[in-house]
Amino acid sequence: MPKTDWYKDLVFYQIWPRSFCDGDGDGIGDLTGVLGKLDYIRSLGVNALWFSPLYPSPQDDYGYDIADYCAINPEYGTLAQFQEVLEKAHALGMKVIMDLVLNHTSNQHAWFLESLHLDSPKADWYIWRRGTDKKPPNNWTSTFPGPGWEKRERYNADGSVSSDAWYYLHLFAVEQPDLNHDCPALREALKDVQRFWLDMGVDGFREDVITYISKKEGLPNGFPLMPAGRGMEHFSQGPNLRKYLAEYRTVVDEYDAMTVGEAPGMTPQNALRYIDQNAPVLDLMFHFQHMTADCIGLAWVKTRFSLRKLKKVFNAWQQALRGRAWNTLYLENHDQPRVLSRFGCTDTEELRVASGKALAAAYLLQQGTPFIYQGQEIGMTNLPPLALEEYPDVVTHNTYDLFRSLGFSHKRTMAHAAYAARDNARSPVQWSSAPNAGFTTAEKPWFMVNPNYKTINVANALADPNGLPQWYKQVLALRSVRTLFRDGTYRDLCPRSQTLYMYTRELPGEQSCLVVISFSKKVTQIQLPKAIAARGVQLVLDSTNNAVDATAPPTHERNLTLKPYQVQVYFYQ
């Protein structure tokens, strides 16, 4: 089947199943819960779903530690229930992609257990090396701070314990051994996994840390001063990455399916090595550069939010990929603290909603395929500060240990955690002001509900005609009816401003669009560019009033007074 670029017309909604909606009352989100909410998701103007891992898993990394690639976690439901969700989503006009973790499995996966036996055909399916009793094979560390190698007994053909000091590599949690993609039989097995889901009818995959699957031969030591993810220069975008991706792509191509690869550390120039439309091995890539607009590298190393920094990254990607590859557009996912608590403003309820609308307009009207994370559309915020033991995520704990070992006090480290913990994105979706935010009928959900749920919830937000979901619907509706937003050029008109984001989309033969967004907490006066105002501008969306009269005649007025975080979207000839 010929490869088409239908992924360019999608708008994704990401479901992190454990916290989305509990349908069977056990306190854990599940597929019954999802089924009941598909109409709601579709009503936002979304036409694709990305499921974070639904597979059986001991949940050491909440599903990213897969114990069986071809089944559904019983806590979430059954394969039959997944098929029902898939069919209903398709019937509603939504594509569905699965999260596929190819870099590693759970240490409970049957493959890993078999690889403990030195005579097993799967003995080299993982990255096993000999060390000494006290010393691992090299100095690599996990990207989840902590050691990168774990010592583990392996067995000889006669069942006796091998006398060698065997270690396996884990670039993530200790329970997540890395797979050895250099082994052809493993690659075949992973292709079968892809076929399993594609045969069932899924439309593609989000490929977890896919840029880490090829490690440099000989596993040389990494740069010694790197505290976490040491060795990255040898395992990120390794020597055979393109080759292996090309091989995996032959499978998805047979089904006209799509792939979006997660790519930490990716620059636009390097991305083109994988997603250039002339020789793609992936359709899309998630990079992380814009998520450093408030930090150095990671949200744990916080700086003040800089709109200029954010726009610089947006602009670089829009320019570099134009006509050559396709962008992903996102501000949130299950690994990022809530964006409103980072790039927005939560000082008052009014500013929360206003800045939520500003952030939505800042990314949804760019060129690319947008992704919305569950709860983002109602402006969910970070959790209040918790005690260390209240955070479920292994990364929060490992990063805590790292900060303490670097000399940070407990108090200071906990302040960093409150801002940066991934747990912030993983509290249950707030559906209503009912107990536990209507997420579950159980007495206790698996993880705490944000105490602000009585104010911030889907029911309240939907009841407000000027609410956030209504704004998402309007912006997405505007986007979907104009080829301008798919194909038009993008230009940032004031890249240096720290309080104003103003960009255009233009396409010959169509009306152009000017997006004006204040990122200020104060009322501001601005001027529209002379050349655009001269052509006459017509207001089509205004975040302070979701019911704009789009039939009003164009004006030539240049002076504009913007309320805090106000958005105005104009068309011009």
Q: Name the minimum Å distance from CB 262 to ligand NOJ.
A: 6
At residue 15, φ and ψ (nearest 5 deg) are -110, 125
Q: Which residue is nearest to ligand NOJ (CB)?
A: 64
- What backbone phi and psi angles, to 5 degrees, belong to 58? -70, -5
**Amino acid symbol at 274:** Y
Minimum CB distance to ligand NOJ smaller for 30 or for 208: 208
Q: How far is the CB of 334 from ligand NOJ (least distance, A)?
A: 6
Question: In 3-state terms, what secondary structure has residue 515?
Answer: strand
Q: State how far the Cα of 383 lies from the Cα of 422, in Å rounded to an integer.
A: 10
SS3 178: strand
User: Residues 6 or more apart from 215 whose CB is under 8 A from it?
Assistant: 127, 169, 178, 182, 234, 235, 238
DSSP letters spanning 43-86: HTT--EEEEPP-S----TTTTSS-S-TTS--TTT--HHHHHHHH
Selected catalytic residue, list 30, 61, 208, 335: 208
Rg (CA), the chain: 24
Answer yes or no: are the C-beta atoms of 96 and 84 closer than 8 Å: no
CB of 554: closest distance to ligand NOJ in angstroms?
45
Binding site for ligand NOJ (CB under 6 A): 61, 64, 101, 172, 208-209, 262, 334-335
CA 133 to CA 76: how far, in whole Å? Answer: 41
In the complex, minimum distance from the CB of residue 316 to ligand NOJ, in angstroms, rounded to a whole number: 23
Q: Which is nearer to ligand NOJ, 96 or 539 (CB)?
A: 96
Residues 6+ apart with CB under 8 A from 128: 115, 154, 166, 167, 168
CB 86 within 8 A of CB 114: no
Residue 185 phi, psi (nearest 5): -65, -35
User: Which residues have a Cβ under 8 Å from the Cβ of 405 and sit 6 or more positions away?
Assistant: none
Residue where the block lists tokens 């597929």: 31
Vertex 154: Cα angle to 148 and 156 (nearest 5): 155
DSSP state at residue 103:
S
Q: How far is CA 143 from CA 52, 264, 345, 534, in A?
A: 20, 11, 30, 53
Residue closer to ligand NOJ by CB (options 336, 512) is 336
Place of tokens 């708008």: 11
CB of 41: closest distance to ligand NOJ in angstroms? 20
Q: Quote the least distance from Cβ 561 to ligand NOJ, whole Å.
A: 42
Closer of 86 and 209 to ligand NOJ (Cβ):
209
Q: Closest separation between CB of residue 286 and ligand NOJ, Å?
A: 9
Nearer CB in complex with ligand NOJ: 262/492: 262
> Which residue among the candidates 75, 175, 203, 262 is catalytic per the annotation?
262
Nearest to 249 by CA among 496, 503, 3, 497: 3
Minimum distance from CB of 384 to ligand NOJ (Å)? 23
Q: Which is nearer to ligand NOJ, 294 or 335 (CB)?
A: 335
Q: How would you classify residue 159: left for phi > 0, otherwise alpha for psi between -120 and 50, otherwise beta?
A: left
Reply yes or no on whether 332 is catalytic: no
Shortest distance in whole angstroms from residue 104 CB to ligand NOJ: 7
Q: Which is nearer to ligand NOJ, 75 or 262 (CB)?
A: 262
3-state secondary structure of 148: coil
The verdict on whether 506 is a catalytic residue reads: no
Q: Which uninterrupted H or E stretch holds 20? A: none
User: Which are the catalytic amino acids?
Assistant: 208, 262
